[in-house]
Amino acid sequence: MRRWFKRSALPPPALSRSEPPWLFAVALATTLPHAFTQPFWLTAWAGLCWVWALILWRNDRRLPARWLLLPLALAGALAIRIEFGSFFGREPGVAVLVLFMALKLLEMRQRRDAVVVIMLGYFLLLTHYFEAQDIPTALWMLFALWLVSAALLRLHAGALAVRPVLAQSARLLAQALPLMLIFYLFFPRIPGPLWGLPQDAFSARTGLSESMAPGSIGQLVQNDAIAFRVRFDGPVPPKNRLYWRGPVLTAFDGQRWQSGPVTGGKPVIDAAGEDIAYEMTLEAHGQRWLLALDAPRQLPADARADARLTVLLARPLESRQRFRLSAALDYRFNEEETATSRALNLALPAGFNPRTVALAETWRNTRTPEQIVAAALTHFRTEAFYYTLQPPLLGRDSVDEFLFVSRRGFCEHYAAAFVVLMRAAGIPARVVTGYQGGEINPHDGFLVVRQSDAHAWAEVWLAGRGWVRVDPTAAVAPERIERGLASALPAGEPLPFFMRASNDWLRPLLQRWEALNNAWQQQVLGYDQLRQQALLQRLGLPGGWQTLAWLLAGLSTLGLVLLTTLLLYQKRRTPPEIRLLQHALRRTGVHCAPAESPLALAARLARENPETAQRLAPVIESFVLVRYAPDGREHLATLRAAVAALGRRRTP
């Protein structure tokens, strides 16, 4: 059979002793950020492979045989499959890249193995933004990109010192900055998550859910991650009026509250006074609800309010987004409610919490709905109830045990017990979850609402008044509503790091950092389609992807032409000492061969034309000093004077 190619007789180029350290640095810089997000066993696996390869290189020992690496790779792949349930998706895909990088370090024998490590490094750089997009991540990516590019240069440039390689890599990145800026400004901004495979593009994140059980919000508030930021157009409302409405829970099975079916049409809001306008920057939470200030009035174009006044987006929120909204703090909501909705919000599971039902029935027979609400709040206020993040576990009749035995709970305990009391007394009621309060960052003026501000309250429907907010927590721990969580909990309770009193000296530093990170998110990461279209309008250009495509192509071409011209000019620019020597040779009529050095020229002229050699001697002597002496540039003036002495014609 005819061979279509001929195998090379030369062996593939092997790695030198000085090249593997660059590859170790590439592997460490590109996989280290994933140590905080990948499973512990994978981080330990990668770390052991890295240390093993480093020890083998340091002791100049032979790398393990390929037959040994194959079962290691198969075992790692099987562990990833067991851990994530699939090889497809964001997290398993990153895990596979980390595994490949770790094992490739034990296979670095030839130049092509080093190229594979560097290419893996570039791919891993792209995955850093899957988990975080803050300033430290961006700085680390730039550092890692600089290091990976330097390793690629070192691999192909020969045995150069470390400093010149790093300097050349920095120059290459600096030359790429204009093109990067052009792509940042004019590449079409596509809405949606950075990663879009169906398996995990819409996975849930930390935050509220569509269900609530005793202790669920208590666990959430121990996380001080930022849920959203708000900038008001006018004065910031008082903290006790900042209720950020989220999922409304109507279905109760005796243990857990669920969202339940939504009945009714568009909500009817009768607002009093002027609306409060604000802009919200909401962190991705993987759900459809938008946490709007109660009661929401003006909504974004792709959002709607359902019959329970929960604002829903058209699709799950998978990336940080800004929204313009307005709210009415004084309002009436659904004064006329359907019979189906009232019945749904009166339902209780049979056979649960008999003591609570009995207490509510004593109120039902002797009091009006308003008096029943007041009686329940008075019960919470006057009895020995405690507000705590560490309540005891509750059994089957959780509301009975809470109201009559433990009397210790967090906001979800009080809201759930209040709603059960109201329903048992014949008043439609439901649980509303969301966030309450927030803290102004004095460095940028944004109201910061954290996961630790998560809250649950109740709503009751009263004839002629509609749905009325009632917060039982305010009856037990009013400090929670007025001043925040830290002031309401007793000493010794577990608090998020940001709320601890011992961090008072650290709080201003953290606030400055959060303000800086917020500016990064608002101005850099927040450059979306709307801002891009606004930029095009300021430039007097029509919107649309066609305009962006032509503009991007034109600016990129112009930038490349300018950069190429600059590089060619620098390459072809003749040094001044060369120009002076060429001018001196033209004056004296001497021809110098292309491969003839100045000293060889002087020796030839001394034999062939001593007079001309004597005239050119000062020029050649000065040229040699300028060209080769350590302080050569200091002799440039002497060279100019020697050339000028050859005649009266002007020197260059």
Mean pLDDT, to the nearest integer, of 259-269?
Answer: 84
Torsion angle, alpha carbons of 151, 157, 158, 159, to 10: -60
Average pLDDT over residues 57-81: 86
- pLDDT band, residue 484 (cuts 50/70/90): low
Beta-carbon-side half-sphere exposure of residue 149 (alpha carbons within 13 Å): 17
Assess whether pLDDT exceeds 60 at residue 311: yes
Per-residue pLDDT band at 503 (split at 50, 70, 90): low
Tell me, what's the pLDDT at 499?
60
Higher pLDDT, 273 or 234: 234
Report whether pLDDT(201) > 50: no
Q: Which residue has the higher pLDDT, 129 or 249?
A: 249
**pLDDT band of 280, cuts 50, 70, 90:** very high
Q: What is the pLDDT of residue 2?
A: 45
Active site residues: 411, 455, 471
C-beta separation of 245 from 306 below 8 A: no
Residue 381 to residue 473: CA distance in whole angstroms? 9
Q: Tens digit of pLDDT for each residue in 356-383?
A: 999 999 998 889 999 999 999 999 988 8
- C-alpha to C-alpha distance for 24 and 19, rounded to whole angstroms: 9
**Per-residue pLDDT for 644 more than 80?**
yes
Q: Using alpha carbons only, what angle is made at residue 628 by residues 627 and 633, rounded to the nearest 5 degrees?
A: 55
Q: Of the ranges 161-175, 214-228, 554-568, which one carries the lowest mean pLDDT score? A: 554-568
d(CA 365, CA 361): 6
What confidence tier does 196 reach under pLDDT thresholds 50, 70, 90?
very low
**Which parts of 404-497 fold into alpha helices (H)?**
411-424, 472-476, 478-482, 485-488
The more confidently predicted of residues 323 and 598 is 323
Phi first, then psi: give them for residue 163, nearest 5 degrees: -65, -45
Residue 650 pLDDT: 40
Q: How far is CA 453 from CA 225, 484, 489, 579, in A?
A: 10, 8, 13, 74
Phi, psi of 456 (to 5 degrees): -135, 135
Question: What pTM value is reported for the model?
Answer: 0.71
